[in-house]
A and B are shown apart, each in its own frame.
Chain A
Amino acid sequence: MRKTSLFGGAAVAAVAIALAGATSADIGDDEELIVNGEIEMIIETAAPEHLQDRLSTIYSGWVFRSDETQAMQADDFDNPGMIFVDQGLEAFETVMGTEGQSCASCHENAESLSEVRSTYPKWDEERGLVQTVEMQIIECQTERMGAEPYGYDSQDMRNMTALISSVGRGIPVNVAIDGPAQETWEQGREIYYTRFGQLELSCANCHEDNYGNLIRADHLSQGQINGFPTYRLRNAGLVSIHNRFRGCIRDTRGETFSVGSPEFVALELYVASRGNGLTVEGPSVRN
């Protein structure tokens, strides 16, 4: 039998169950997110200038989730994503590769990387391209440590990006979109507004034109990525930015791009820039 579900029947059904009995949250609920009673998150702010002809206000995906899901992110003991941060920290301090080095050999401690998540993807002068955090980690492993690089979307990689994001929590996203990064940014914007697949859906159709609306039982967010990697309850694990992009294009009945592809790097830069001004939240908790 042909499967013609609009948005992946099983996934939608799972959300329906998760939502049953949950209180829904929405824009204008006047909520605040302060993690561990000390990290104040900006979950709503004026849209960055490049976006103001489209949106006036940008919202963290946290705003759209149920009270129960929101609460899990407010305390690290309740946030299931923090287990992976611990695993990332262990790897950070472990020697890997032929050069006898760990991440800590150069970077001392994870906190010294607190400005990374908010400024990536970022133009890399030496390589002449825009790099994501994952690409930077792979570069360190192959060019400095003599180590076998992590797979782009492997558990080890997600642990490490979760660690790097966690030490940057509360810092406003501020990726550069001008200068040498501009061409990549424009490519990402082009992809954002392209209607992919047999369902002909662009990112904007759902996340710009319909955020806040229900699509069957799912509450559409603005598709911000300041909370990545995110702990998704339906996956019971950390989900990377590119994995999420791939899932969205798959749900258009489209042929996706690959994790780590130039197209997704460009899209990541563009989507990150739509969140300039929101705070780094990863690992966030989402449904």
Chain B
Amino acid sequence: MTRHLMLAAGFALAATTLHADVILPDDVVTNEYGDIAQSLTGVPGDAAAGRDVMVNRGLGNCIACHQVTALEDEQFHGEVGPSLDGVGARWDEAALRGIVANAKMAFPDSIMPSFYRVSGFTRPGNAFTGRAAEGPLEPLLTAQQVEDVVAYLMTLTE
């Protein structure tokens, strides 16, 4: 009983902290290269959760476009973007966070969608319904999902 109460209190505290520290998409600060130095949540990314976001068609679906040798157990890697092998060695965390959040800052012509942006679109829709968006858009990934993906990408050092 006591333990449950403590857990509940812990969750409540975590949720409050999380909420307070999340940087909203429109408030993200980048440098001239699009790097985002500050964590979007203040909570360290979870690489295992990031791996799931990478491969899940309903989440990031990163391998729809990118080949990743470390994920070769997952079927059907795309050929549209560059291989992500070694990205953790080529880029630092701030650069990776910036590319995942809004790749067009670093690469203006990139086909890559911006996973943490909610404004500046032409005819944004209501998810995949084909109808107009109703109300403010949600980013494609949550702030913590971006942090998780960045944590996973940092493990790709070879």
CB contact under 8 A between A6 and B137, given known A249-B130, A256-B125:
no
B122: nearest residue on chain A (CB-CB)? A196
Q: Is the interface of B mostly helix, strand, loop or mixed?
A: loop
B37 at the binding interface (Cβ < 8 Å) = no
Q: A136-144, A198-206, A230-238: which lies at the B interface?
A: A198-206
CB contact under 8 A between A5 and B58, given known A200-B114, A213-B78, A214-B76:
yes
CB contact under 8 A between A215 and B130, given known A200-B113, A255-B123, A255-B125:
no
Say yes or no: A5 contacts B111, CB within 8 Å: no
Q: How far is the CA of A209 from the CA of B111 in the complex (A)?
A: 9
A268 at the binding interface (Cβ < 8 Å) = no
Contact of B128 among A194, A220, A253 (CB under 8 A): A253
B47 at the binding interface (Cβ < 8 Å) = no
For B63, list chain A residues within 8 Å (CB).
216
B157 at the binding interface (Cβ < 8 Å) = no
Range of interface residues on B (Cβ < 8 Å): 35 or more
Q: How far is the CA of A16 from the CA of B125 in the complex (A)?
A: 26
Min CB–CB distance B18 → chain A (angstroms): 17
For B113, list chain A residues within 8 Å (CB).
6, 198-201
CB contact under 8 A between A246 and B138, given known A197-B125, A215-B78, A215-B80:
no
Q: How far is the CA of A267 from the CA of B104 in the complex (A)?
A: 26
A2 at the binding interface (Cβ < 8 Å) = yes
Min CB–CB distance B126 → chain A (angstroms): 8
Within 8 A of B (CB), among A168-225: 194-201, 205-206, 209-210, 213-217, 220
A7 at the binding interface (Cβ < 8 Å) = yes
For B79, list chain A residues within 8 Å (CB).
210, 213-215
For A254, list chain B residues within 8 Å (CB).
121-125, 130
Contact of A216 among B76, B104, B124, B128 (CB under 8 A): B76
Most-contacted residue by chain B among A7, A13, A213, A253 (CB, 10 A): A253
What's the tally of chain A residues with a CB closer than 8 Å to chain B?
A: 39
B71 at the binding interface (Cβ < 8 Å) = no
Say yes or no: A198 contacts B125, CB within 8 Å: yes
For B111, list chain A residues within 8 Å (CB).
201, 205-206, 209-210
Min CB–CB distance A224 → chain B (angstroms): 19
B154 at the binding interface (Cβ < 8 Å) = no
A127 at the binding interface (Cβ < 8 Å) = no
Say yes or no: B64 contacts A3, CB within 8 Å: no
Say yes or no: A253 contacts B138, CB within 8 Å: no
Q: How far is the CA of A5 from the CA of B127 in the complex (A)?
A: 9
Min CB–CB distance B55 → chain A (angstroms): 10
For A8, list chain B residues within 8 Å (CB).
128
Say yes or no: A255 contacts B64, CB within 8 Å: no
Q: How far is the CA of A10 from the CA of B51 in the complex (A)?
A: 21
For B4, list chain A residues within 8 Å (CB).
none
Contact of B124 among A6, A16, A198, A209 (CB under 8 A): A198
Min CB–CB distance A199 → chain B (angstroms): 4
Within 8 A of A (CB), among B77-135: 77-80, 104, 111, 113-114, 121-133
Q: Which 6 A-B pairs have the closest CB atoms?
A: A250-B130, A9-B57, A216-B64, A217-B76, A213-B79, A255-B132
Q: List 20 A-B contacts (CB under 8 A).
A: A2-B127, A5-B58, A6-B60, A194-B122, A195-B122, A196-B123, A200-B114, A200-B121, A201-B113, A213-B78, A215-B78, A215-B80, A216-B64, A246-B130, A250-B125, A251-B128, A254-B124, A255-B126, A255-B130, A255-B132
A residues near B (Cβ < 8 Å) are 1-9, 12-13, 16, 194-201, 205-206, 209-210, 213-217, 220, 246, 249-256
